[in-house]
Amino acid sequence: MLRIYTGQNGHLTAIDGLPEAEALGALWLDLLNPTVEEVKLVKAHLAIDIPTRDEMAEIELSDRLYHEDGAEFMTITAVANIEGEDPVKAPVTFVIKGQTLVTVRHAEPKPFLIYAAKAQRTSGPPCTSGELVMLGLIEAIIDRAADTLERIGDEIDALSREIFRNTSPSASKKTRNLQSLVERIGRKGELLTKIQESLVSVARLVAYHSASDSTSWAVASSGRKLQKEIRQRIKLVQRDATFLSDHATFLSNKINFLLDATLGLINLEQNQIIKIFSVAAVVFLPPTLVASIYGMNFDAMPELKWLLGYPFALGLMVLSAVVPYLFFKRRGWL
């Protein structure tokens, strides 16, 4: 799918085809799961090579941030389906050539839809160049990540209360609850890792773009006021990405602590069950010994012919079981 936007009165306007875009001056060409024909159209329009999906997935810095054919190619890792059960990482490539921005992606992160809708409103942010569109998209990605981190932080606090204030009377039920918590903690940790990777890639992109020649070209072609605004926005984006990445690291450490604590509580519950079986075995061992003695087939056993021999044996077995129990109780082992 190829979405084309031009700038009119400082805001984005969606149009249908490249001929009209050439006449009006396209600011943003958005390639979502592009076909071969759409890639050829954009390539012919800007005289650049569009990276393939495999090339976008490369993690080397030289494959993600580079200049080619007079254009600046920058790839970040975005997270799509954040609120779903299966969030996925998706590489997104930004290509800036002149005043035009090309985005290449194979997923639909929500910030793209949010920014496109906002930028087309008259009250939306100004969009007079492809660079400003890219900064707006990155800011939307960061805002989305910030909201997600805030939500995850609240959920982590709820998990913490659930772990350390579990009052389930049944040991087996409590263990099952803790096992369920481990799964939930694992999902939060996985999402945090993906968000942190995305924020790190954004910070690298902004640092590269701020030091590139394309920024100097854009600044030279704009006024001093716009120059100052662009520089300021770049600094704010870089600062926010770094801050949120640090916050994601803090939440990851908290997740690891809760995971260790939960596993420790599960081990304590299991040890408690094993201790009960061990105590039961020790308590019933002396009665078993008494019963085995009187079960021997010997003639010279006076208690066998004694009228009170049977009650005596039963009482001895009960006493031999009660004494270890009271001893364990007094020592605080039960």
pLDDT tens track for 62-110: 778 888 888 889 998 888 888 877 888 889 999 998 888 889 998 888 8
**pLDDT average, residue stretch 232-245:** 87
* Cα(219)–Cα(224) distance, integer angstroms: 8
Query: In this model, does residue 120 exceed pLDDT 50?
Result: yes
Averaged pLDDT score across all residues of the chain: 81
Looking at per-residue pLDDT, the higher value among 224 and 267 belongs to 267
pLDDT, tens digit (0-9, with 9 covering 90-100), for 188-232: 888 888 999 889 989 888 888 888 754 444 444 455 555 677 788
Q: Is-contact 7 127, C-beta < 8 A?
A: yes
pLDDT band of residue 268 (cuts 50, 70, 90) is confident
Other CB atoms within 10 Å distance of the CB of residue 31? 21
The 10s digit of each residue's pLDDT in 131-172 is 888 888 999 999 999 999 999 889 888 888 887 776 555 555
Distances 250 to 149, 150, 242, 254, 302 between C-alpha atoms, Å = 11, 12, 13, 6, 76
Q: Give the residue ranges of DSSP H helices in the chain.
A: 18-24, 36-46, 53-56, 61-64, 110-119, 130-164, 171-210, 213-220, 224-294, 309-331
**Cβ 109 vs Cβ 7: under 8 Å:** no
Q: Give the contacts of 275 (CB within 8 A, at least 6 positions apart).
A: 333
pLDDT at 247 over 50: yes
Whole-prediction pTM value? 0.75
pLDDT at site 260: 87
Percentage of the chain surpassing pLDDT 90?
5
Q: Is 230 helix (H, G, I), strand (E, B) or coil?
A: helix
Instruction: Report the pLDDT value the prediction gives residue 23, as an integer from 0 to 100.
Output: 42
For residue range 277-311, what is the model confidence (pLDDT) as tens digits?
887 888 888 888 888 888 887 777 787 778 888 88
Say whether pLDDT at 54 is over 50.
yes
Mean pLDDT (whole number) for 247-263: 88
pLDDT of residue 142: 92
| Residue 114, pLDDT score | 87
CA distance 251 to 188: 10
